[in-house]
Amino acid sequence: MPKVSVIMSVYNNADYLKRAIQSVLNQSFFDFEFIIINDNSSDSTEEFIDSFSDQRIVYIKNLENKGLIYNLNVGLKIAKGYYIARLDGDDFLSDQDKLKKQVDFLDKNQDFALVGTMAKAVNNEGKELFEIVYPKDNNEIKRRLLFENCFVHSSVLFRKNISQMCGNYLDSEKYIEDYGLWLRMGVEHKLFNLSDFSVYYFLNSSGETQKNNLMQINEILKLIRKHKNNYSYYFFSLLCGLCKYLIVSVGGLQSTNL
């Protein structure tokens, strides 16, 4: 049984998919399965996936488009690993020891449910735009988590059993499915970020989340209200969320949820 299951849901990511897959297969930590779910792509996504013959790849192709949340939960359902790693099809890992470091951390710290890393945002040409830096310590993460998502989705490694106990990804949290899961995990479990810059996050200004900023922020406001008794700075977080909503409604702000 593999110790880690890496889950990737892809839809028309052919331009970036090869580097993403290769960055996982090149990891120094070898004991993983790589679940790739093709959400009925219309480009050459399947051709790129088929070009890899690594036996750790578990390939699933949907006959119709199901959406990210559905695919992630399918991946979690069939995952054999004790730990779950995530990677989007247009992101890629920059540190060959990323999984090894995270597995070592969770093995040694049984009271932690999730560990992420820092990241660097890149554009279409692969040019580094800026660094994505979040708090590392559990206490600082808990202080800020209601105010902002403190984890890059493609950077995380988390315990499958705790994810299941928290309901995995929820259909009711579209566009913020990862943020909702971290908040539920953090109610009773510790969270951490390694200081390494282990992921390149592709900043796609035409992506689904960026096209639905208002809906995303509205869902975040619901999360803030839902967890007002679980985390610090409820009123401050709510006020900032409302301000973002007003600014985005007049076209003045892009989404920054990762």
* Mean pLDDT along residues 161-168: 98
Neighbouring C-beta atoms of residue 195, cutoff 10 Å:
9
Q: Are 5 and 81 in contact (CB under 8 A)?
A: yes
Whether the pLDDT of residue 58 is over 60: the answer is: yes
Convert the pLDDT of each residue in 10-38 to its tens digit.
999 898 999 999 999 999 999 999 999 99
Q: Which of 145-154, 178-187, 237-246 bottoms out in mean pLDDT, i.e. has the lowest?
A: 237-246
Confidence (pLDDT) at 188: 96
User: How sure is the predictor about 82, in pLDDT bands with cuts at 50, 70 and 90?
Assistant: very high
pTM here?
0.93
